[in-house]
Amino acid sequence: MKQPQTSRRSFLALAALTPFAVAATSACGTSGPGASSGGGGASMWYLSGEPNQTTMQKAVDAFNSANSADKITVTYFQNDAYKTKIKTAIGANQAPTIIYGWGGGGLKTYAEANQVEDLTGWFDQNPDLKKKFFPSVFGAATVNGKIYALPNQYVAPIVLFYNKELFQKAGVQPPKTWDDIMSLVKTFNGMGVAPFSLGGQSRWTSMMWLEYLLDRIGGPEVFKAIFEGKPNAWLDPAVIETGTKIQELVSAEGFIKGFSSITADSQADQALLFSGKAAMMLHGSWTYGAMKKAGQNFVQDGKLGFVPFPTVAGGKGDPKNGVGNPAAYMSISAKASDKEKESAKKFFKDGILTDTVIDAYINSGSVPIVNGIEDKLNTSPDKEFLNYVYDMAKNAPSFQQSWDQALSPTAAEALLNNIDQLFLKSITPQQFAENMNGTLGK
CB of 422 to another protein, least distance (A): 9
Residue 257's alpha-carbon distances to 207, 249, 277, in angstroms, are: 18, 13, 11
CB of 255 to another protein, least distance (A): 10
Whichever of 69 and 424 has its CB closer to another protein, that residue is 424
Q: Are 162 and 307 in contact (CB under 8 A)?
A: yes
Whichever of 256 and 299 has its CB closer to another protein, that residue is 256
DSSP state of 265: T
Whichever of 229 and 409 has its CB closer to another protein, that residue is 409
Distance CA 335, CA 354 (A): 27
In terms of phi and psi (left: phi > 0; alpha: psi -120 to 50; beta: otherwise), the region of 297 is left
Cis peptide before 127 (omega within 30 of 0): no
Report phi then psi at 391, rounded to 5: -65, -40
Continuous H helices in 315-402? 338-350, 355-363, 374-378, 383-395
Whichever of 41 and 295 has its CB closer to another protein, that residue is 295
Task: Calculate Rg over the CA atoms of the chain.
Answer: 25
DSSP H helix total and E strand total for the chain: 20, 14
Contacting positions for another protein (CB under 8 A)? 1-7, 10-11, 13-14, 17-18, 21, 25, 84, 87-88, 90-91, 109-110, 112-113, 115, 200-201, 203, 256-262, 266, 268, 271-272, 277, 408-410, 412-414, 417, 420-421, 424, 426
323's CB contacts (< 8 A; 6+ apart) are 157, 158, 208, 211, 212, 215, 399, 400, 401, 402
Beta strand pairing status for 142-143 and 72-77? unpaired
Q: Are 256 and 196 in contact (CB under 8 A)?
A: yes
Whichever of 246 and 369 has its CB closer to another protein, that residue is 246
Whichever of 77 and 123 has its CB closer to another protein, that residue is 77
Distance CA 198, CA 281 (A): 7
Whichever of 73 and 267 has its CB closer to another protein, that residue is 267
Helix (H) or strand (E) holding 162: strand 154-163
Whichever of 182 and 271 has its CB closer to another protein, that residue is 271
Q: Using DSSP, state whether 298 is helix, strand or coil.
A: coil
CB of 84 to another protein, least distance (A): 5
Distance CA 380, CA 365 (A): 9
Whichever of 201 and 242 has its CB closer to another protein, that residue is 201
CB of 5 to another protein, least distance (A): 5
CB of 426 to another protein, least distance (A): 5
CB of 418 to another protein, least distance (A): 9
CB of 87 to another protein, least distance (A): 6
CB of 379 to another protein, least distance (A): 37
